[in-house]
């Protein structure tokens, strides 16, 4: 299906995927654009590329609500597990668009092609995650769109649309790193309830997310070195300027450090984030 699509360039394919409200098409386009880019069968950008939309394409459901209005349920019930998986599916869908947006929005930045290699691998894997979680929802008699979801992830990205260093600070190094903090306990709870299938999906996501944070940390440090900025200090300044939510402990220091995100980056922010 996707093989016949006219992907004008990597940027063009990313923009088409972001714009698509058909989620099967979105994830397939993300993965096909990545595959063609890895094989160097498409250029980085083209005059034929469409314009980058302000917001990603979405189906009519789920209804988007403020994060405070998304109901929390116990994982010891089927409804609770479905609600958690639905929330994760929503996060993974946003992560597909965020990875593609970094590529499309910053395609004119002076960075090596390996920058785009890294983010298209992230986009490819986030698309895989969304499909896995959606398939698990289907196994449980539900689907993505059945419950409300929150709109905070895209809003966080929108505030950093004009600054690549700020985007890297907020998206991979705060939002994705948060996944490293919370996922192990969710895996354990899923296993306690006997839902080993859902726990196995979370295992795949957790292991891949370490790599995604590592891509963010690598390029954040690259840009800081080029600008002769101290990475930890720059991170703290950018987070204070561009991120409103709190940085909540406990932190998964080991997984974060494996990804190149050491406590010197985030510890100072945790103590003042509630102020």
Instruction: Report the Cα–Cα distance between both ends of the chain, in Å, rounded.
Output: 51
Give the pLDDT confidence score for residue 275 in this predicted structure: 37
pLDDT at 52 over 60: yes
Residue 206: phi and psi, rounded to 5, are -60, -45
208 is in which domain, residue-wise? 68-271
Residue 5 lies in a domain: no
Residue 149: phi and psi, rounded to 5, are -140, 160
Q: How many domains does the chain have?
A: 1
Q: pTM to 2 decimals?
A: 0.94
Residue 172 lies in a domain: yes
In a 10 Å sphere around its CB, with 0-12 CB exposed, 13-18 middle and 19+ buried, how is residue 228 labelled? exposed
Residue 158 lies in a domain: yes
Give the pLDDT confidence score for residue 4 in this predicted structure: 55
Average pLDDT over the chain reads: 93
Residue 168 lies in a domain: yes
Q: Which residue shows structure tokens 């954040």?
A: 220
Report d(CA 160, CA 9) in Å as an integer. 24
DSSP H helix total and E strand total for the chain: 11, 2
CATH code where residue 85 lies? 1.20.1260.10
**Quick one: which of 24, 26, 238 has its CA closest to 123?**
26
Please name the residues in contact with 114: beta carbons below 8 A apart, sequence gap of 6 or more.
none
pLDDT band for position 274 (50/70/90)? very low
pLDDT at 273 over 50: no
Residue 49 lies in a domain: no
- State the average pLDDT over residues 100-122: 97
Residue 244 lies in a domain: yes
148 within 8 A of 69, measured Cβ to Cβ: yes
Structure tokens at 7: 């992907």
Helices 177-192, 196-226: inter-axial angle, 10-degree rounding: 170
In a 10 Å sphere around its CB, with 0-12 CB exposed, 13-18 middle and 19+ buried, how is residue 4 labelled? exposed
Q: List pLDDT tens digits, range 184-198.
A: 999 999 999 999 999
Report d(CA 71, CA 226) in Å as an integer. 44
Q: Which residue shows structure tokens 């996944």?
A: 179
Report d(CA 173, CA 198) in Å as an integer. 25
Residue 40 lies in a domain: no
Report d(CA 59, CA 149) in Å as an integer. 12
Task: Count other Cβ atoms within 10 Å, centred on residue 40.
Answer: 9
Give the pLDDT confidence score for residue 72 in this predicted structure: 76
Q: List pLDDT tens digits, range 152-169.
A: 778 877 889 999 999 999
pLDDT at 232 over 60: yes
């Amino acid at each position: 299906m996707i093989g016949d699509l006219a992907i004008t360039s990597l940027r063009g394919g990313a923009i088409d995927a972001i714009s698509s409200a058909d989620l099967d098409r979105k994830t397939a386009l993300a993965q096909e654009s990545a595959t063609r880019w890895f094989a160097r069968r498409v250029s980085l950008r083209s005059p034929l590329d469409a314009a980058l939309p302000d917001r990603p394409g979405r189906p009519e459901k789920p209804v988007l609500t403020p994060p405070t209005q998304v109901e929390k349920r116990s994982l010891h019930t089927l409804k609770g597990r479905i609600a958690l998986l639905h929330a994760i599916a929503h996060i993974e869908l946003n992560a597909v668009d965020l990875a593609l947006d970094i590529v499309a929005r910053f395609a004119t930045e002076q960075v090596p092609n390996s920058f785009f290699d890294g983010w298209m691998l992230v986009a490819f894997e986030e698309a895989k995650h969304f499909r896995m979680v959606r398939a698990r929802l289907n196994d449980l008699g539900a689907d993505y769109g059945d419950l409300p979801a929150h709109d905070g992830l895209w809003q966080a990205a929108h505030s950093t649309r004009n600054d690549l260093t700020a985007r890297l600070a907020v998206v991979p190094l705060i939002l994705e790193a948060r996944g490293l903090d919370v996922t192990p306990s969710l895996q354990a709870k899923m296993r306690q309830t006997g839902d080993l299938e859902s726990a196995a999906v979370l295992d795949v996501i957790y292991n891949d997310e370490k790599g995604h944070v590592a891509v963010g940390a690598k390029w954040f440090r690259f840009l800081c070195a080029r600008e002769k900025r101290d990475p930890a200090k720059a991170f703290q300044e950018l987070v204070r300027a561009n991120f409103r939510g709190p940085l909540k402990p406990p932190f998964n220091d080991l997984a974060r450090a494996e990804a190149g995100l050491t406590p010197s980056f985030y510890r100072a922010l945790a103590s003042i984030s509630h102020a």
